[in-house]
Structure 1
Amino acid sequence: MSNLRRPGGLEGHPEWETALAEIGPDWNPAGPTVWQRHYATVRELLREENQTDVLPGVTVHGMDIGRFVHRNRQHTVWTGLMDGQSERLEQLGITPLPPEQETPAKARKSGSGAFERGVAALAQYIARTGSVTVPRGHVERLEDGTEV
């Protein structure tokens, strides 16, 4: 199929073009095939399970289709979908989230991560010993009592 989807792939084979046109637009999706695969899997799951909600973490054939649904419902993603993609999702009962319901971006922790603690411990060790060579197994106690 990928060879037929290429420009000129059907050249010289009008009967193939007719046969594929009868199948419908799904044989040659407008968007990335990865999106189309996820969409087709969601469509089949919703049809078989008779449900309308697919949560992140629901996987089928190794694809996290729940994440696919959640991501595509985000307002910023929904407005950037290619022609026909949002309509196809709506036919399945999947609608965009209002902008105020989107998952907020995770705030970055300032100075509390493992890397930051390691840097602080190294700086403290250098200030105390004057060396950047830390013996294996050495534990440095930070001012807040954390041991690194």
Structure 2
Amino acid sequence: MRATGRRRGAAVRCRGWLTQQRQDWGRHNEEQRRRLGEAGVKPGARPQKTAARTNAKAGAAKGSDAFTRGVTALKQYVEREGAMPGRGHIEVLPDGTEHRTGIWIGNQKARRDKLDAEQLRTLAELGVEWAV
């Protein structure tokens, strides 16, 4: 039998409540766990924790990759359009991925004191005025 209208909304809320009870199993006291168990509710599966990153260089490499992707997107846009992209512009890279180039430029400007001389020079060569 399919629930409709008001009953369907109640069923959705009930399903959401059950999901929350399963997720919060460790927060319930013994009496709450017992009552939930009697009602047939079982604890939810605990999500697997990801290993902490131990190599500090991995973060730097990831940042360098992100900068390289941003430069690639900006270079592609400037070569095609002859100007800087607007903040909302999204550039499609040759590999088919999208890059939020306009936002990326703003982020680089906001953290320009953390960019090295090579990165600033690269941005200046592409016509980014504040990188000069």
Q: Name the TM-score, length of structure 1 as normaliser.
A: 0.40
Q: Name the TM-score, length of structure 2 as normaliser.
A: 0.44
Q: Which has the higher helix share?
A: 2
Greater relative CO (CA pairs within 8 A, separation 6+):
2
